[in-house]
Amino acid sequence: MNNLTISKLSKTYSNGTQALNKVSLDIPTGMFGLLGPNGAGKSTLMRTIATLQEADEGTVTFGELDVLKDKNEVRKIIGYLPQEFGLYPRTTAEVLLDHLAVLKGIRNSKERKEIVEGLLQKTNLYIHRKKKLSTYSGGMKQRFGIAQALLANPKLIIVDEPTAGLDPTERNRFHNILCELGENTVVILSTHIVEDVKELCTNMAIINNGEVLLQENPLRAINRIKGNVYSKTIRKEELAEYKRSYNVIAERLFQGKKVIHVYDERDPGKGFTPVEASLNDVYFTYIFGAAAQ
Amino acid sequence: MLFELFKFEIKYRLKRSETYVFFTALLLYSLIAVEALFGNGTELIRANAPFIIAKTMGVTTAFFMAVVSMVMGVSVLRDFEHHMESLMFINPITKKAYLGGRFLGSFVVLLGIFSALLIGLIIGNFLPWKDPATLLPFHFWSYLQPFLTVVLPTIFFGGSLFFVTGALSRRIMVVYVQGILLLILYIFTLQLTAGSGNKQIIAILDPFSFQAIGGIVEFWTPAEKNTRIVPFEGILLYSRLLWIGIGMLSLIVGYYRFNFNVVTGKAGKKASTTNQSKASTTGASISIPSPAIRFDLQTAIRQLASHSWFHIRTILKESSFWAIAACAVATIFINSISLDIKYGVDSYPATYLIVSQLIELSVLFFLFIILFYSGELVWKERDANFHQVFDTVPVSSFISLTGKLLALLVILAFLLLSMMAAGMVFQAFNEYYIFEPGLYFMEFFTGIFFFLVLLSLVAFFFQSVLNNKYVAHIAMAVFLVVGIVVLNLSGYSHPLYSFGGGFLPMYSEMNSYGSFLKGYLWIKSYWLWFSIMLFASATLFIARGTETDFKQRWKSRRQRYTKPLGRLIAGAFLFFVFSGGYIFYNTNILSDFDFPSAEKVYKANYEKALKKFEHLPQPKITAVNLNVDLYPSERNFIAKGSFTLVNKHDQAIPEIHIQKAPSPDLTIERIEFERASEADNTYEEYGYFIHTLDTPLQPGDSLKMEFRQTYITQGLETGLNHDIVQNGTFFNNNYFPTLGYHPDIELEDKSEREEQGLKPRARRASINDPIALKQGMANDDGEEIRFEIVVSTDSSQTAIAPGYLESHWTEGDRSYFRYRTNQPITNFYSVTSADYKVVKDRWTPSANHSQDPVELEIYYQKGHEYNLKRMMKGLKKSLGYFNSHFSPYQYPQLRIMEFPRYRTFAQSFASTIPFSEAIGFMMDIDDEKDVDMAFAITAHEVAHQWWGHQVNPANVQGRSMISESLAQYSALMVLKKEFSDEKAHQFVQREMRRYLRGRSDEEQQEMPLALVESGQDYIHYGKGAVNMYALQDYISEDSVNLALKRFLRDWNNIDGLIKLRTDRYATTNDLIGYFREVTPDSLQYVLEDLFETITLHDIQAVSGSYESTASQQFEVNLEVDVTKLRLNKSGIEDTVEVHDWIDIGVYAEDKNGSQELIYLKKHKITEPLTNIEITVDRRPTKAGIDPLHKLIDREPDDNVIGLSGKEEGRESP
C-alpha cells in the first residue's frame, strides 16, 4: 500500500497569509485525522492534495505519484469532499452521480448504474434519488458529497470538515459511512471536532497556524500527557488569575461554575485533582502550546 | 431606515467593478452612436439636430436594456444568490424600507450609468474629426430635453419591471428573458409600422419612443429638423405617460406580491424529506461494486457526450429557454404582415424570404443566447459552488469546455430546426405548398449557424480567459462592435479581418447561390480555424481549482498542455494561415481588392487627372454592331464590336479618347480605327486611352472603330458583380468602351468629395446649359444608333437584346441569337441570358390603325408563373392606351425578361424590359385590397417606350420629369381605365407619402418638379404621380393627353417636327408649354403650383352642419381653413395668397351603410377661412375640403368633418 508523503510543504497567499509552513506528514493507509482550529491551514493542505491549488514549496507524493505535478493522474485516484460545496439545484442525485461517474472514467453504463445505486443505498439516499437536489437537507447533501467522492474506487480520499453543521444523528450516520473506508485506502479527514478523530482515526496530526504540532497515534498521544492533566472547579472571576499561573488547556462550565484543566508535569496541588487525559486535552495542550514548555 | 438602505445600496454599487464597466461601455458607445446610427450629418440636416439626438438616445437606450436588467434585476436577487436573505431579513427592516431603499439606490446608480449617454453624446460633438459644417452650435437643452423625455421614462419603466421581476422570481434567468420580451415588443412595433397599421397606437406602444419621434418629425422640412426640439406633447407625451404608468404599476404589484420571508414555499417539502431519511437505517452492510475504470479515447468521447448532454438537459429544463424558443418561433407569425413588402404588396412566402425574415428577426436572440449561455455554461460549476468537486474530476479542461460548447451548439441547432418547422407551417398557412427543406437547411446551417459557431467559440474564449462573466459579456459586445460594425462603417473592411467575413451569399431562385458559395466557405473556414485556435488555447487558461488569478492560471498552463491539444492549436494555426493566404491571393492578387476608401481616392484622382477632357469634342456613335460570346458557367464573356463614329462638331477631331469600363476583370485587347492611329497610354491606370489619328476626323466625316474585349471573372468571386452570373446575366452598354471623360465615375457624395478636396457636383446640369441640352439619356456618346448584335450563350439559355430576332442557330453546345432594330434606338442597350421559359402573345391594334401587330413575350424563371397574366395584360392594355392617346408604338416586339433578385427594379430598353425576380414576379396580389402592382409596373415600363425612347429628354434639370413622371401618369391612366378610380387613387396616395417622406430626408435642396435633379426619386416618381394626377383632374385627362400627343409630334427622336430642326433635346419648359396650350386661363396658376414651384396646402375642415330645409333638401354649411404654402430658395415655407379651385365634397350613407360621396365639385377659395353652403338631396353625414387628397397636405386626416344636423328646429342625434 502507498503512503501519502508530504514534505516541507509551504504556501503563502497573495494577501500575505501564510497558510502552510513547511508541513511534513507521512500518512499511511487508514483513516487519518487532521485536527486543528478554524484557519489552521487544514483546508489549504487538503485542497493542495486534491489538485485544486498550487503550493509554493515542498513536495507531495503518493507512492510513485508526484501529486503536485501529475494532477490528472492524481484526479484519477482521489475522492474529494470539499468543506463547502453546492449542487445543481434542478438536477437529481441519480443523474448527477451518473454524470460524475462517466467523468471519473466509468464507461460501462451497466457498471455505472450498479455503483451509482450501490452508493445511493450506502449513503441512504436511494429513496431520494429522483428528487431535485435543491430539496436536500444539509446532512443529505453531505452524504451525497461522500457518495460522489467514492465513485471510482479512490485510493486516496480527502474529506474536509464533513461533519460541521450536522446534527448528532446525521453525524453518527456519516461516521458509519466513513468508518468502512479506512481499510485499504488512505483517508484524510480534516476536522476541528476532536470526537471525530477519536471515533474514527488510527492516526492523527494536529496542525495550527500552518504548522504541524503533533503527528501520532491518538492513543499514544493520550499516553504522552497521561498523568499531567489536573482539574479544578473554580469561580468564574478567578479564571484570569488561574490562566496567569497555570497552563490552562481547557475550561468548561458545569452548573454555573468553571471547571478548568491544566497541564503540569508535577502535581500543582492547591485543590487540583488529577484526571484521566482525553484526546481533547491532547488537542488543547498542543494548541495552547503547553506541551512545548 | 429607508435612507440607510438607500445609502448602503449606492455605496455597495460604487464598489462594484460592473458599475464602471457599464458606464464606460455606454460612454464609449455614445461617443460614436450618432455616426453609427445615422452616419455623418449633412449641411442640410446636421448630425446634432435635436431630433437626431433624441432618436439616438432612444435607440441607444434600447440597445442597453440589458444593462438596465443587470443593474436593476439583481438588486434584490443578489441577496438570494449569495444566500444573504436570512441575514438580511432577520434584521428589523420593514419591507417598505428594504424594497424602497434597494430600488431607489439601484435606480440612482442606473441613472448615473445612463448619464454616460448624455455625456458621451455631448463629447461626441466635439471630437476632433467632426466637420463643423455638419454640426449646429451646441445647445445643452437639445441634449437634456430628450434625456429627460426619452431616456428617463424608458429606464424607469425598464428598471421598475426588471427590479420587480428579479425580486419576485428570484431567478436571474427571468430577468434576462424580460429583456428579450421587451426587445420583441420593440421588433414587433417596428414590424407593425412597416405594415400600414395604426401609426398613432404603434407609436404609443413603442417603449423606446422612437416611433413616436419618427412620427412627429416625419414630414418636417430640413429647416424644421435642424431648429425644432421634438416637442414633448401628443403621441410622445402619451407614450411616455403610458410607460411610466406601467413602470409604477409593476412597482406597486411588486410591493404587494413580494414575500418578505426567507424560503418561498419550500419549507414543507424539506421537512418531509428529512423525516423520511431519519426513518431509514444506515447502509453499512451494502458493499460497493468496483467498476472498471478506463481512460482512453473511447472514454474521452463518452465523457464529452455525457458532459454536453448533461448541460443540454439543464438548459432544456429552464422555462426561460422555452420562452426564448417560443419567441423565436413566434416571430415569423408576428412578422407575417410584412413579408417583403414592395410597393405596398406582399410577396409570396418563398422559402428564401421566410428564411431571411427569420434570420433578421432572430439574430438578436441568437447573439443574446450565445452571450448569455456562454457565460452560464462556462461558469456553471462556479455559480453553483460545485467547482471544488468538479475540478477534481479526471477530465481535461478541453473536454469539459468542448462539452459545454457542444451543448450550446446543439441548443442553437434545435432553435434553428424549430424555426425551420415554424417557417414551413407558416408557408402552409398561407397556402404556399412549395416546401424546400434543403434550402432551409442550407440557409440556416451553412449560413447563420456557421457564424453562430464562430461567435460561440469566441464567447467561450472570452469567458474562459477573462474569468469574469460580466467583463466577458462586455468584451464580447465590444469585440462584435469593433470587429464587424466599426470596420464596415469606417470603410476598412476585408473578409480577412472583419470577423466572420460576411453573410451567406444571396439566394435567388434563378441563380441559386451562383458561384458565390465557394468564396464564402473559404472565408468561413478561415475564421473557423481562427476561432478554434482561440478556443483551444482558452482551455489552457480557464480557471480550475480555487486559485483563479491570471498569474496562477498562466503558471499552470504548462501542466494543462498536452500533445493532442498542442497539435490541435498548431493545426488550426496552419489551416488559418493557409486559408488566409489562399483568400488573400484570390481577393487581393487575382482580383483587385479595394477598400471603399481606396476606391474613393481612385475616383477623386480620376476626376482630378481627367476632368480637363470633359468637354473635348469627340465624335458620336451612330451605329453599333456587336458580337458577344457569353460563357455563363465561367461568368466570362468575349465581345467584338464595331462602332461607327461621326464628327458632329464643326471642327476636326485629331484624337479619340476611349474609356474602358471600370472593372478589373475587363480587358480591352484591341482597338483599331479605319485609319492609322497611335495610342497614348499615359492614363492607363484609369483605363483611359488616347488614340491620335494620323489624319484628324473632319466635321461630318465618319470613322469605324473596332474593338475586342474580354471579361474574365477572377479570384474567389466574392465581389459584388451580380451582372454576369451563371443563370440570369443582365448587363448594359456600360460594359463596352465609351468615348471621352466619363462623369459617371466621379464621386457623388458631397462630403466624400469634400474629403478628397473636390467641389460639390451639380446633380444635373442647369435647364439652360447649352452643352447638356444637346445630350440625351445616353449622356455624350451619341444618342440615336443603329443597332445589331449577335449574342451566343450556353445552349441551355436564351439570350436577349433589343431588336427583332433576325436569326437563331446552334453550333455544338452554344446557341446564337442575332438581333437587329427596325429603327434607330437610344444608345442604351442590354444583354440578358438565362434558362428561360417563355409565354407569348400578340397585341393587335384596333382596326382604324394601319399598324402591324406587336409580338409580346415574357421570359421567366420556371415556377414564377404567378403574375404572368397580369403582366401580359399590362403590356396589352398599355400598348392600347398609349397607342390611341399618344402615338403609335415604334417596334414590332415588346419583351419582359426576368433577372435575379440581386437588384430590384425594372428598366426599359428599346422594346425590352428586364424585370427583377424580386418585384412583380413574386407578388401575392390581393385584388380586393392591393393595387395590381405587377400590372402597374409593367404599364410604367411600357410607358418608357414613349417617355425616354420616343422622346429623349435633354440631360438637364427636369429630365426625369419627362421620363419618369410622364411614365407614372401614363401607368396611372391605364390603371384607372382598366381597374377603377379608387385603385388609381390608392396608388397616388402611396406616392404622396413617398414624396412627403422623401422631401423630409432631402440632403441638399428640394427642387420643383419641372427642375427635378438626379437622385430625387421622391420628386419624379412620388410628386410626379401626385401632381400629374391632379393636373388631369383639373384640366381633364383628354386635355393632358392632347398636350402629350403634341409634345410627341414635335419632339420625338425620329421625325419630331421641332426635333428635326434642332440638335438639342426636349426639356420640361417645352413640355409645360404644351400643358399651357390646353389649360384654361382660370387654371393657369395650377401649372405654376404643380410644376414650377414647391407648393403645399394646409387644409382643414373647421366645422360643419346641415339643416333640412324641405323634404329631401338638405343645406350643408361648411367652414374650411386653407393655407397655401410655398417653399422659398432658402428652404423656408412662406404663406402665399389663396386663389385656388379646391374640391368640396359631401358624404351620405348608402344602402349598405358605408360612406358615399354624393357631392364633389371644385369651389374657388379666396380667403383662408371660408364658409361654403351646398344643397344636397340626401341626408349628409360628413363634408370636407379636398376629401380625395389631390393636393399635397401633410395632415390629410382633418380634411373631412362630421356634420351636426338640425331638422325643422330639432337637433338630430
Q: Is the same domain home to B398 and B534? A: yes
Which residue does chain A place closest to B270, by CA atoms?
A135
Q: Which of B712, B731, B754 is the last residue of a domain?
A: B754
| Confidence (pLDDT) at A90 | 83
Q: What is the pLDDT of residue B40?
A: 64
Using the Cβ of B276 and the Cβ atoms of chain A, whether some distance falls under 8 Å is answered with: yes
Domain co-membership, B1100 together with B1026:
no
Same domain, B608 and B585: no
CA nearest B800: which of B841, B858, B853?
B858
The reply to whether B567 and B606 lie within a common domain is no
* Domain positions in chain A: 4-216, 223-287
Condensed to tens digits (0 to 9), the pLDDT of residues B111-153 reads 999 999 999 888 888 877 777 777 788 888 889 999 999 999 9
Name the band, by pLDDT with cuts 50, 70 and 90, for residue B531. Answer: very high
pLDDT, average across residues B885-909: 94
Q: Does B268 touch chain A (CB under 8 A)?
A: no
Task: Count A/B contacts: CB-CB distance under 8 Å.
Answer: 163
- Residue contact B384–A14, C-beta within 8 A: no
Best of A70, A83, A102 to substitute, by most chain B Cβ atoms within 10 angstroms, is A102
Residue B864 lies in a domain: no
Q: Are residues B351 and B485 in the same domain?
A: yes
Chain A residues whose CB is inside 8 A of the B384 CB are: 86-89
Same domain, yes or no: B388 and B345: yes
Summarize pLDDT for B789-823 with one digit per residue, the tens.
999 999 999 999 999 999 999 999 999 999 999 99
Minimal CA separation from B171 to chain A, in Å: 12
How high is the pLDDT of residue B263?
Answer: 44
Whether residue B713 is contained in a domain is answered as: yes
Identify whether residues B1098 and B1088 lie together within a single domain.
no
User: Nearest-CA residue of chain B relative to A141?
Assistant: B274
Question: Is the predicted pLDDT of residue B407 greater than 50, yes or no?
Answer: yes
Q: Residue B112 — φ and ψ, nearest 5°? A: -60, -45
The two counts, helices (H) then strands (E), for chain B are 40, 29
Determine the pLDDT at residue B801: 96
Are the beta carbons of B276 and A128 separated by less than 8 Å?
A: yes
Q: In chain B, whose CA is at the least distance from the CA of A68?
A: B559
Q: Please report which confidence band the pLDDT of residue B269 belongs to, taking 50, 70 and 90 as the band edges.
A: very low
Q: Is the pLDDT of residue B305 over 90?
A: yes
Residues B215 and B226 in one domain: yes
Same domain, B517 and B657: no
pLDDT of residue B490: 64
Give me the pLDDT at residue B598, please: 79
Q: What is the pLDDT of residues B816-853, one digit of tens each?
A: 999 999 999 999 999 999 999 999 999 998 766 667 89
pLDDT at B946: 97
Extract long-range pairs of B688-692: CB within 8 Å, 24+ residues apart.
B688/B610, B688/B657, B688/B658, B688/B659, B688/B660, B688/B741, B689/B657, B689/B658, B689/B660, B690/B655, B690/B656, B690/B657, B690/B658, B691/B655, B691/B656, B691/B657, B691/B658, B692/B654, B692/B655
Residues B1077 and B1117 in one domain: no
Q: Please report which confidence band the pLDDT of residue B195 belongs to, taking 50, 70 and 90 as the band edges.
A: low
| Residue B32 pLDDT greater than 90, yes or no | no
Contact check, Cβ <8 Å, B394/A76: yes
B182: confidence class by pLDDT, cuts 50, 70, 90: confident
pLDDT above 70 (res B1212): no
Q: Return the C-alpha cell found at B285.
A: 452492510
Q: Which residues of B touch A122 (CB under 8 A)?
A: 283-284, 286, 288
pLDDT at A17: 87
Domain boundary residue, one of B730, B754, B778: B754
Q: What is the ipTM of this complex?
A: 0.92
Among A81, A100, A122, whose Cβ lies nearest the Cβ of B283? A122
- Top pLDDT among B922 and B328 is at B922
Whether pLDDT at B932 is above 70 = yes
**pLDDT for the residue B928:** 87
* Position with higher pLDDT, B1059 vs B221: B1059
Q: Which residues of A touch B312 (CB under 8 A)?
A: none
Q: Answer yes or no: is pLDDT of B568 > 90.
A: yes
Which range has the top average pLDDT, A67-81, B322-336, B738-752?
A67-81
Cβ–Cβ below 8 Å for B546 and A52 = yes
8 A C-beta contact, residue B956 and residue B892? no
B283 touches A: beta carbon within 8 Å: yes
Contact A173 B546 (CB under 8 A): no
Chain A residues with beta carbon closer than 8 angstroms to that of B291: 101, 106, 108, 111-112, 114-115, 152-153
- Tens digit of pLDDT for each residue in B843-882? 998 766 667 899 999 999 999 999 999 999 999 999 999 9
Q: Which of B310-319, B748-757, B957-966 has the highest mean pLDDT?
A: B957-966
Measured from the Cβ of residue B562, the count of other Cβ atoms closer than 10 Å reads: 14
Q: Minimal CA–CA distance to B856: which of B789, B809, B786, B804?
A: B804
> DSSP secondary structure string, B491-554?
T---TTTSTT--PPPPPBTTTBTTTHHHHHHHHHHHHHHHHHHHHHHHHHHS--SS--SHHHHH
Q: Does the CB of B307 have a partner CB in chain A at under 8 Å?
A: yes
The verdict on B1049 and B1169 lying in the same domain is: no
Greater model confidence, B281 or B968 = B968
pLDDT cut 70: percent of chain A above it:
98
Q: B275 at the A interface (CB within 8 A)? A: no
Structural domain total, chain B: 5
For residue range A160-186, what is the model confidence (pLDDT) as tens digits? 988 877 788 888 888 888 877 777 789
Domain boundary among B561, B590, B619: B590
pLDDT at residue B565 is higher than 50: yes
- Write down the pLDDT at residue A187: 92
Of A72, A100, A131, the CB nearest to B273: A131
How high is the pLDDT of residue B88? 61
Task: Give the residue with greater pLDDT, B430 vs B888.
Answer: B888
pLDDT at A173 (0 to 100) = 80
A51 closest CB neighbour out of B287, B396, B545 = B545
As a whole number, mean pLDDT of residues B996-1022 equals 91
Q: What is the CATH number of domain A4-216?
A: 3.40.50.300
CATH number for the domain spanning B1104: value is 2.60.40
CA atoms within 13 A on the CB side of B48: 27
CB-based contact, B302 to chain A, within 8 Å: yes
> How many angstroms away from the CA of A134 is the closest CA of chain B?
9
> Are B94 and B260 spatial neighbours (Cβ–Cβ below 8 Å)?
no
Mean per-residue pLDDT, B435-462: 93
Range of lowest pLDDT (B134-143, B202-211, B486-495, B619-628):
B486-495
More confident residue, A98 or B1153: A98
Of the candidates B1020, B1014, B1013, B912, the one whose C-alpha atom is nearest the C-alpha of residue B966 is B1020
In a domain, B949, yes or no: no
pLDDT of B372:
82
- B299 part of contact set with chain A, CB < 8 Å: yes
pLDDT at res. B340: 63
pLDDT in tens, A206-251: 999 999 988 988 888 888 888 888 888 888 888 888 888 888 888 8
Contact A103 B307 (CB under 8 A): yes
Full domain range(s) for residue B463: 299-590
Indicate the average pLDDT of chain B: 86
B879 within domain boundaries: no
B1130 CB contacts (<8 Å, ≥6 apart)? B223
* Percentage with pLDDT > 70 across chain B: 90
Categorize the per-residue pLDDT at B585 as very low, low, confident or very high, splitting at 50, 70 and 90: confident
Pairing of strands B688-697, B830-834: unpaired
- pLDDT given at position B346: 83
- Residue B532: what pLDDT? 95
> A interface mutation test: which of B170, B277, B280, B553 has the most A CBs within 10 A?
B277
| Contact: A107, B270; criterion CB under 8 Å | no
Is B546 an 8 Å CB contact of chain A?
A: yes
Is residue B1009 situated within a structural domain?
yes
Q: Does one domain contain both B1017 and B1066?
A: yes
* B183 domain residue, yes or no: yes
Q: How confident is the model at residue B13 (pLDDT cuts 50, 70, 90)?
A: confident
Would B150 be classed as within a structural domain? yes
